[in-house]
Amino acid sequence: MIATGTLAPDFELYSTLDQQLRLSELRGKKVILAFYPANWSPVCDDQMNLYNEMGKYFARHNAQLIGISVDSKWSHLAFCEHNKFHFPLLADFEPKGEVARLYEVYNDKTGECQRALYVLDEDGIIRWSYLSPVGINPGADGILNALEELDNVKSTNQ
């Protein structure tokens, strides 16, 4: 994984069938990048649904959650609509896994993203990361702790 303190590599991926999201457009907000193996799989389904429920807590920290997998934008559309997600899922589909490779979380053996989390500050600097075993839902505690720590550092520096 990319080291903390590093500027997160910029990228642009499809967030809907015809719109793309560029990471650098989110400067001024904290960003949670949640890489996951695949839509419709039991652990991924639970993880993304948990994060959807945690949305109001992430928003209190001025944080935007983004899910990323190598699934197509069509699969993401169905997965989002089925689960009523309130955050974007980005399709790292073609070239397959290009962004996951940039973030050093692509699994060449399975052809999927590893289950990995990054928290970026408002300037796009990686401030926290976590690589979870593929079959384990990492939950939201680490993310919330990282966001609270960023808020504490910010209030101390003001």
Distance CA(28)–CA(89), nearest Å, equals 20
Cα dihedral sign for 37, 35, 87, 56? positive
* Identity of residue 110: T
Asked about 80 being catalytic, the answer comes back as no
- Tell me, letter by letter, the H, E, C secondary structure of 64-88: EEEEEECCCHHHHHHHHHHHCCCCC
Q: Is 52 helix (H, G, I), strand (E, B) or coil?
A: helix
Catalytic residue among 23, 44, 48, 54: 44
Q: Which residue has tokens 């073609």?
A: 94
Q: Which amino acid is at 71?
A: D
Active-site amino acid positions: 44
